[in-house]
Amino acid sequence: MRSNILRAPMIPTAPIVSSSLPELITKPLPDIAKAIAAGNVSSVALTQYYLERIARLNPSLQAYITVTAETALAQASAADQALADGRSLGPLHGVPVALKDLCETDCAPTSNGMAIFRDRQTGRNAKVVTNLQAAGAVILGKLAMAEGACSTHHPEMPVPVNPWGTSFRVGSSSSGSGVAVAAGLAAAAIGSDTGGSIRFPAAYCGVTGLKPSRGFVSTEGICAMAPSLDHVGPMASNADGCALLLEAMSGLGNTLPSGQTPARRFGYLPYLLSARLDPEVRTAYCRLLDTAERVGLDLVACAVPDVPDLQETWDFICAKETARSHAASYPVQRNAYGQALATLIEKGLSLSDEDYAEALKRYAEITVLWNKLFDGIDWLAMPVHAVIPPLLDNALGAPNKGLGNPLEFTAPANLTGLPALAFSVGRDPRGCPIGMQIMAPMQADFALLALGSRLQESGLYPLSLFSPKASEFEPLK
């Protein structure tokens, strides 16, 4: 990593005042927020602790590309002063969070995971950042990501490491966001999702992530990949944390009544119970269904709409819109682009306007078909990926697996705009997390998160990655 990418945090020499901080950061986001609001811990002390942890662990985990230590400590100090004055800044009062490095910020560069933009200053905040700050959040820094929110990291940029094991994939493109939450380097993080970029890292890193309903969270000031498919969403240790973060980042209050019983019709796909999935993934899928039944939901066998060209439609729209998003720098700076992103852009440039118009027509038709699916169910359970996360020396969806495209289960939510919640339901024999996802009707985001919370509290609780008493990061054995 180049020295001008990572801004080393300024760590005060005064000792941490609370011995409970190592334990506190293992708690869900709402518990951390409550501890600050109750005055049990100061925002400054907690922020200092996170910054110290980042300084110690980020050189090996590579989650952060920029640490905004001075800004974070100033925000934390202001939060503590407000609390002393009897003022609440919002639901995230004094809580340290981090941003995927495609969120424009006035306090740090916004690289979008691209080497040519590593020092780009936009001088403004994305709408989601403005909303977070209005809710009282402390911004710890910017998180590493795949180049241009595509599938791979640029060779000159940091590549985050999965804290479960260095040979395990992190998932793209919100890779730093997944690692930061999993490793306790932030209380929560912002990610983005164009074809699964929140859900893959959430599943592979053992955390929870929501791709919200289309339009639920503003994408103003977010570096675009494919605007028709792009979504910005929360990543946290559990569904309750995602709900609190979603409330803050969207600027929309969670009006869902506390304790409301979730809708009961829990859709599942019978064909996934055959040999369609890796055995470990199939076992995890069955565990999700068993837990849903145990909490009182009714399992409803169903079938997704028969849309043979769904993947092609996603591909066409993603390629064409990505090419348009990079028109100012590609092909002028072609040599500065990594291979995966350049290949996607070249495909977009090769598509005609007629191809794109036809894809948009199918996009609208597919949305109608998938929305109609929810006339008969309230939820739809699917894996995030058909195979257990491949090791770094294997290709994603390796040909010998014979299980189709890696976006098979994630792209539908981006095309249709339906919300999808991803979370871990266990680990495979190698110790790597296995993730599942639940889709819901449009605008049912908070209800979906409430369902996720109920399932997690009933046996699918997220995995704990680190020992609160350990002086160093210790992945569980």
Mean pLDDT of the 176-188 span: 98
Q: How does strand 433-439 pair with strand 189-193?
A: unpaired
Residue 466: its pLDDT value, please?
A: 62
- Relative orientation angle of helices 353-373 and 310-325, to the nearest 10 degrees: 130
pLDDT in tens, 307-331: 999 999 999 999 999 999 999 999 9
Are 102 and 223 spatial neighbours (Cβ–Cβ below 8 Å)?
yes
Residue 470: its pLDDT value, please?
A: 37
3-state secondary structure string, 43-66? HHHHHHHHHHHHHHHHHHHCCEEE
The H-assigned helical ranges of 326-382 are 339-350, 353-373
Read off φ and ψ for residue 260, nearest 5 degrees: -60, 135
Task: Using the predicted structure, report yes or no on whether residue 129 has a pLDDT greater than 50.
Answer: yes
- Relative orientation angle of helices 239-250 and 127-134, to the nearest 10 degrees: 110
Domains of the chain: 21-250 (3.90.1300.10), 265-308+359-460 (3.90.1300.10)
User: How many CB atoms are located within 10 Å of the residue 49 CB?
Assistant: 21
Q: What does the mean pLDDT of the chain come to?
A: 91
Residue 257: its pLDDT value, please?
A: 67
Mean pLDDT of the 26-30 span: 96
Q: Which strand (E) or helix (H) includes residue 268?
A: strand 265-268
State percent of the chain over pLDDT 90.
84
DSSP 145-180: -SGGGSSS--TTS-----TT-TTB---SSSHHHHHH
Mean pLDDT of the 276-294 span: 95
Residue 477: its pLDDT value, please?
A: 39
Task: Using the predicted structure, report yes or no on whether residue 337 has a pLDDT greater than 60.
Answer: yes
Residue 256: its pLDDT value, please?
A: 73
Cβ-Cβ contacts under 8 Å for 20 (sequence gap 6 or more):
40, 41
pLDDT in tens, 391-440: 886 444 333 333 357 899 999 999 999 999 999 998 999 999 999 999 99
pLDDT in tens, 431-468: 999 999 999 999 999 999 999 999 999 988 766 666 44
What pTM, to 2 d.p., does this model score? Answer: 0.93
Say how far apart CA 371 and CA 377 lie, in whole Å. 10
- Residues marked active site are found at 100, 173, 197
